[in-house]
Amino acid sequence: MGRSPHGAQATVGAMPELPEVQAHAERLTEQFGGAELERFTPLSFSVLKTVAPSPEAVFGTRLAGVGRRGKLLLLRFGDDVTFVVHLMQGGRLVPDDKQSSKPRNGMARWTFADGRALLLTEAGKERKAGVWVVNGDPLGQPPLAGLGVDADTVTRTQLDVALRAKNQRLHGFLRDQHGVAGLGRMLANEICHTARLSPFVMTSKLSGDDVDRLESAIHERIASALDHERTLDAMSKSADRPGAVHRRKGATCPVCGDEVRAVEYNAYEVDYCATCQTGGKVLADNTTSKFLK
Ligand SMILES: [Zn+2]
């Protein structure tokens, strides 16, 4: 803790994005697939977001697999019950070797008949991570209803439709889960850089050529992050994820050699390279600047 110049925010702001969650779902399926659920124990008052069906309905059934939609994990049990897990900023779903009665940052525990367990933890003061238990297809139900197309499979046409749905800054569009799902602060920064687009350009101003580059950049950055993540035994910390501009303010752009710059907000920062992305224009470091318009 404390090694980051960005303070506590940086520690909590390590939200896993699509590649991290996807690789973790694959890891959990490999490690826990087929295990019989003995019980589910909420450890925090607020963690379980649904009343029906009861988690007890699937005690004694096996974990069919762990999937992903957007940045959420889907634990499928038996025929048609899914635990949807939203990690939010600081949540993690990890093998629980100790199984102590009051685990640090513990939110919920899945205990299996073979003696193993999975623990949902959440770092930081905010208790936002949650578990939804749903019957049938989870895709049309909360919290998944309304999510945009998954960013790893979005087509050029779907991307175009999503971009035209609401005129907003590109960086905000990429982070908005209703447009395309699965991207967060890091990938939004990296995708804008790879696509050579200003993070602050309005989506209505993007040309066909811009959207072509954006689509390629989305798929390229996700594929490369997923390749990295699949080499690991556990979900990476955001500081360890390879990137060209994200949280690299002051460092050298690997493409053109210019200095990476940042526009900082309370909760996050937008990192970019002026030479690659804004025609050399340096964006003023506050949210009210006329240069951001
Ligand atoms: Zn550059």
Q: Mind listing the pLDDT tens digit for each residue in 222-260?
A: 999 999 999 999 998 888 899 999 999 999 999 999 999
Distance 151 CA to ligand 1 centre (A): 24
- pLDDT of residue 10 exceeding 90, the answer is no
3-state secondary structure of 72: strand
Residue 8 has a pLDDT of 37
Question: What distance in Å separates the CA atoms of residue 88 and residue 16, rounded to the nearest whole number?
Answer: 8
Distance 275 CA to ligand 1 centre (A): 5
Tokens of 9: 């925010």
Residue 11 has a pLDDT of 45
Distance 9 CA to ligand 1 centre (A): 27
Mean pLDDT of the chain, nearest integer? 92
Q: Mind listing the pLDDT tens digit for each residue in 102-156?
A: 999 999 999 999 999 999 999 988 889 999 999 999 999 999 999 999 999 999 9
Distance 193 CA to ligand 1 centre (A): 8
Residue 1 has a pLDDT of 32
Distance 187 CA to ligand 1 centre (A): 16
Whole-model pTM: value is: 0.92
Nearest to 245 by CA among 177, 164, 185, 201: 185
In the structure, ligand 1 is a single-atom ion and the residues with CB under 5 Å from it are 253, 255-256, 258, 273, 275-276
Residue with tokens 């087509």: 155
Residue 287's pLDDT band (boundaries 50, 70, 90)? low
138: Cβ–Cβ under 8 A, 6 or more apart, which residues? 69, 74, 82, 84, 132, 144
Question: What integer is the mean pLDDT of 42-69?
Answer: 96
Question: What integer is the mean pLDDT of 85-103?
Answer: 95
* Distances from the Cα of 106 to the Cα of 139, 225, 266, angstroms: 27, 28, 27
- At 12, phi and psi to the nearest 5? -80, -25
Instruction: Return the H-helix or E-strand segment holding 118.
Output: strand 117-122
Distance 85 CA to ligand 1 centre (A): 37
Asked whether 78 and 63 are in contact (CB, 8 A), the reply is no
% of residues, the chain, pLDDT over 70? 92
Distance 169 CA to ligand 1 centre (A): 20
**How many CB atoms within 10 Å of residue 127?**
16
Residue 291 has a pLDDT of 52
Question: What distance in Å separates the CA atoms of residue 131 and residue 290, rounded to the nearest whole number?
Answer: 42
